[in-house]
Amino acid sequence: MGRTLAEKVWEQHVVRRAEGEPDLLYIDLHLVHEVTSPQAFDGLRLSGRTVRRPDLTIATEDHNVPTVLGPIADVVSRTQVETLRKNTAEFGIRLHPMGDAGQGVVHIIGPQFGLTQPGMTVVCGDSHTSTHGAFGALAFGIGTSEVEHVLATQTLPAYRPKTMAVEVKGALPYGVTAKDLILAIIAQIGTGGGQGYIVEYRGEAVRALSMEGRMTVCNMSIEAGARAGMIAPDETTFEYLRGRPHAPSGAAWDEAVEYWKTLRTDDDAVFDKVVEIDASTLTPFVTWGTNPGQGAPLGSAVPSPEQFADPVERAAAERALDYMGLSAGTRLRDIQVDTVFVGSCTNGRLEDLRAAAEVLRGRTVVTRTLIVPGSMQVKADAEAEGLHEVFKAAGAEWREAGCSMCLGMNPDTLKPGERSASTSNRNFEGRQGKGGRTHLVSPQVAAATAVTGRLAAPADL
């Protein structure tokens, strides 16, 4: 019987298998940031161990960094960052600190450097590691004790998840983006729908996505509860990787591409579960609730909890409406926001900033609008194209790279009761600051919303 992409990459990395035990997987790339690594390094020190492969380990400062130049005011944040600096120096790990040209959100810099490659196993103490699956890598988030295990041994014990295919038929209509697609997928399968599975996104609409769009989709796999998300590598992948600092070159490149081409699900392979979605029916999608599955087309209204047959979902909707300060039947386009955030590892890449700039060019924002590049390289690239001038002329704030308002671990937060349209991936209660209310949207919708002050698509302008 044929094998799925996930099975192929998994099998390629098993270094030890025993009945009734998790497989021991070899890890090709270990990404590290300041939040989930301190105890892991402490553990190494306590047991007198070293880092097995510092050359396969790379660290960056992203969650706690302010996005305006200057020192870190918050003591906890500053300590985390200083601790990462000490740890990486002591254990010989490459670090991209604040202000460094290579610094950025961990899931943006891996692909940007060409470190993330098809067929690899990639881990990080961070749930959105699933982003790297866009390259046909098997990439997942791990806990702090697992971070320690990988640092010490470059391996990870893991049980093999089941496989799920998300078949996206048809083509995305004009103006409908990768973000809308993944929000629609999560609304369909639910935040627990992917639990226990590695999801492979397939089909015409997925093949048509750019690498950046594919990363947006895979990034949010975790929001459907999946262990990982993957997309088979193809010409789009190879073109993205060609010439990047860590991509193979010369004869090694040709060899790598030959191998990468084998990384696809065999025609006779069987998935444990198959979900279908028709891309041609989709429109811009936004969330109204407090989990990423509580979303709906922008053209619809806030649902009434009674619409949910499942009692758990109904109760969740009730609570969400209460927290969000929304009432059933309100048109989503009538929801007024006071803050717009374009950024994060979901939508903080150059293509996202271009999309936002296209909408904001020659227009003026009426909300507080933060445009935060996902990395310093993205910032440099955007500035080389003059995008920062477009943002500034529109009245938006152009910031330094970091996780920023994706989560309240740095100075960029919402105040209680404030409402944002955010290109990030989580709309949990308090995620962007205590009492803050988050609507997840695409960069295009974010920019249009900044112009009108209400949830809007570019076509509304």
Ligand X SMILES: CC(C)[C@H](C(=O)O)[C@@H](O)C(=O)O
Give the annotated binding-site residues for [4Fe-4S] cluster: 345, 403, 406
215 is a contact residue toward ligand SF4 (CB under 6 A): no
Query: Residue 211 — left, alpha, or beta (φ > 0 → left; ψ -120 to 50 → alpha)?
Result: alpha
Out of 198, 403, 440, 451, the residue judged to bind ligand SF4 by CB under 6 A: 403
Bridge partners, residue 277, by sequence: 168
The option from ligand X, ligand SF4, none interacting with 105 (CB < 5 to 8 A, set by class) reads: ligand SF4
Out of 127, 191, 210, 249, the residue judged to bind ligand X by CB under 6 A: 127
How many angstroms separate the CA atoms of 443 and 422, rounded? 8
**Under DSSP, is residue 459 helix (H, G, I), strand (E, B) or coil?**
helix
435: burial class by Cβ within 10 Å (0-12, 13-18, 19+)? middle
CB of 329 to ligand X, least distance (A): 32
How many angstroms separate the CA atoms of 376 and 373, rounded? 7
Q: In degrees, to the nearest 5, what angle opens at C-alpha 140 toward C-alphas 344 and 181?
A: 55
Task: State which residue, 153 or 191, has the beta carbon closest to ligand SF4.
Answer: 191
Task: State which residue, 32 or 232, has the beta carbon closest to ligand X.
Answer: 32
63 is a contact residue toward ligand SF4 (CB under 6 A): yes
Sign of CA dihedral 2, 6, 9, 15: negative
Rounded alpha-carbon distances, angstroms, from residue 405 to 31, 211, 221, 345: 21, 24, 20, 11
Out of 13, 96, 128, 202, the residue judged to bind ligand X by CB under 6 A: 128
Contact 343/406 with Cβ under 8 angstroms?
Answer: yes
Longest dimension (CA), the chain: 64
Residue 219 neighbours by CB under 8 Å, 6+ apart: 107, 128, 130, 131, 134, 182, 229, 345, 346, 425
Task: State which residue, 125 or 284, has the beta carbon closest to ligand SF4.
Answer: 125
Out of 9, 27, 35, 282, the residue judged to bind ligand X by CB under 6 A: 35
Which residues, numbered 334-353, are part of the site for ligand SF4 (CB under 6 A)?
Answer: 344-345
Bridge partners, residue 369, by sequence: 340
Contact 142/29 with Cβ under 8 angstroms?
Answer: no
Out of 28, 61, 126, 412, the residue judged to bind ligand SF4 by CB under 6 A: 126
- Torsion angles phi and psi, residue 128, rounded to 5: -85, 15
Residue corresponding to tokens 């290579």: 102
Task: State which residue, 177 or 432, has the beta carbon closest to ligand SF4.
Answer: 432
CB of 95 to ligand X, least distance (A): 17
Task: State which residue, 112 or 130, has the beta carbon closest to ligand X.
Answer: 130
Out of 36, 121, 424, 449, the residue judged to bind ligand SF4 by CB under 6 A: 424
Which residues, numbered 56-115, are part of the site for ligand X (CB under 6 A)?
Answer: 63
The option from ligand X, ligand SF4, none interacting with 424 (CB < 5 to 8 A, set by class) reads: ligand SF4
| Interface characters, 33-62, with ligand SF4 (x: CB under 6 A) | -----------------------------x
Q: Where are the beta strands (DSSP E) in 363-442?
A: 368-371, 397-398, 419-422, 437-440
Residue corresponding to tokens 């279908």: 276
For residue 324, the one-letter residue type is M
Out of 88, 425, 432, 442, the residue judged to bind ligand SF4 by CB under 6 A: 425
146 is a contact residue toward ligand SF4 (CB under 6 A): no
CB of 129 to ligand SF4, least distance (A): 9
Task: State which residue, 66 or 297, has the beta carbon closest to ligand SF4.
Answer: 66
**Interacting residues with ligand SF4 (CB under 6 A):** 62-63, 105-107, 126, 128, 344-345, 403, 406-407, 424-425
**Interacting residues with ligand X (CB under 6 A):** 35-36, 63, 126-128, 141, 407
